Structure 1
Amino acid sequence: MCAKPPASISHRPDNLAAAFGQYLQDQQGLAAATIERYRAVAWLFLDGRFGGGEVDLRTLCAVDAIDFIQRQAKRMRPPALKCVVNALRSFLRYLQYCGESAPKLVAAAPSVATWATTPPLPRAISPEHAQLAIDSCDRRTSLGLRDRAVLLLLARLGLRAHEIIAFTLDDCDWDSGCLHVHGKGRHERLLPMPADVGEAITAYLSRGRPRSEDRHLFLRSLAPIRGFKPGSDAIGSIVRYALRRAKVDAPHSGSHQFRHALAVRMLERGASLVEIGDVLGHRSPQTTSLYARVDISSLRSLAPPWPGDAR
């Protein structure tokens, strides 16, 4: 069921935004960080329209959505503004789903022009720099053992940060040599565990993981000893510290560059886009198709011959 607002027409912005966030969690299965961003946009929209007072949803109209986006456009770059538009549309669809607004209100949120004919190529870390980051971890310490296992999961399997945070001890199937990955939108998949990844996880479990009743695979190194908080930047911090130790000037400081590097490497070795999408957990082929532009030689083979070519 929809986490529907109370039956009365008047609401408070914080209560309405909270109900929206609960709906995203229960019905959409979005990541915690995405839910928080969308909830914040919904609150900002309502607070700006009604000044923090009671909300009368019957008075919302297309101009309200347009004015809100125009105000945000003055302080945001197009990529960030597109995220705000997506969040606002999601909130307006939620109101429509709950019978609190007309369908035409969803279409009122304007599109954001980025003036790019094609999406930008993903920024990938080079194999050499990735290995330097992995080798920078001190295997004589529990922290180094943990961070090395995390970096190998990023480099060998291209996992998302939240997927690594969500790992539990039960997700390691040692008999079959597989990992049970909890992806976006509650999408789950099984991936084979590479030998070096398995060895790194085993080393962490036997010599580095603190004693704890928490079943998460990777734990904080400082008290309170527990798994990383969902939606936190813990994996990103591990990557940044490793790059700094290795003195690597990478194209990006986040964990996704390892994911992009794996996709490029698989493509260069002859993997199909479908195979790459299966490993990365893409739910749409369109997402994986971005990597096709990386392999120029393969794309040339798809081009038809020029009219009149003597071949």
Structure 2
Amino acid sequence: MTTALRSFLSYVRYRGDITSDLAAAVPIVANWSLSSIPRAIGRDEVTHLLASIDRQTPIGCRDYAMILALARLGLRSSEVVTLELDDIDWVAGEIHVVGKNGQRNDLPLPADVGEAIADYLQKSRPRNASRRVFLRDKAPIRGFTGQCGLGSVIRRSLKRAGIDAPTKGTHQFRHGLASEMLRGGASLGEIGEVLGHRHVQTTAIYAKVNLNALRTLALPWPGEAQ
């Protein structure tokens, strides 16, 4: 609103309707750093969501593997849809993901995630020359062209499972993993390493979800009131 108001006032001054620079008088809205709280899907909701997927169908087998990768590895949606066959080191039990700005991050491949991906590759993935791990289920059969496809999978799966999630996007799984790691005693540095954060400030927002640790910092209320 303030941006629009400044633009309007600059425009009317350009037209000559006013002579004073009223745009400079529009106050700045405070934008506090780390003011929001990550909206994370709960562990029980993730369990229910995965259990609701029919893994006997090719689409369900694929969706299960993608959602499990989001939940267990905290990957970004772009990292899932661009994952290629050569990015999985089955012998070493590692997965190589390409994050923001082309940054590569090597992560341990959890057994359940590896089994889900292997199940999809062996039983449900269409025969295709594409090196992408996860392929579209509709023609043309190829890798996802963007993040919207995975977002549609998440929305459809949440609706089918009857889960009222905090958001409809994929990032809630990333926030959920970070929150669980924090409750389990992981440091912010360890969480940032798993999530592929380049700066510790990016991970600092998760300190706000550790209510037990924050209570130790709270000052006593003055007087006898509780």
List per-residue Cα deviations over 1:216-240 (Å, max 9, x = no partner). 000000111100003x311111111
Change (3 A) 1:211 1:111: farther
State the Cα distance separating 1:299 from its structure 2 match: 2.9
Letter in 2 for 1:205: L
The corresponding residue for 2:201 is 286
Matched residue, 2:172 = 257
Q: Are the structure 2 counterparts of residues 111 and 245 from structure 1 closer, same or farther at C-alpha, using a change threshold of 3 Å?
A: farther
TM-score by length of 1: 0.61
- Percent same amino acid at aligned positions? 49
Give the deviation of 1:67 after TM superposition: 8.1
Equivalences for residues 1-311 of structure 1 within 5 A: 70-71=6-7, 113-116=29-32, 118-230=34-146, 232-301=147-216
Aligned-partner Cα distance in 2 for 1:67–1:295: 35
Give me the CA root mean square deviation. 2.5
- TM-aligned CA deviation for residue 70 of structure 1: 3.7
Using the alignment, how far apart are the partners of 2:192 and 2:34 within structure 1? 19
If asked which structure has higher relative contact order (CA below 8 Å, sep 6+), I would say 2
TM-score (norm 2): 0.83
Once structures 1 and 2 are overlaid, which stretch shifts more, 254-263 or 131-140? 131-140
Q: Structure 2 counterpart of 1:122, which letter? A: P
1:69/1:155 CA distance change after superposition, 3 Å: farther
C-alpha separation in 1, matches of 2:29 and 2:81 = 34
* Structure 2: distance between partners of 1:182 and 1:298: 33
CA separation of 1:111 and 1:292: change in aligned 2, threshold 3 A = farther
Alignment deviations for residues 133-177 of structure 1 (CA, whole Å, 9 cap, x no partner):
111211111100100000001110110000111100000100011
Paired residues in the alignment total: 204
Offset of residue 301 of structure 1: 3.8
User: Which SS does the other structure have where 2:202 is aligned?
Assistant: helix
Shift of the 68–132 alpha-carbon distance from structure 1 to 2, 3 Å rule, reads same
Partner of 1:189, secondary structure, is strand
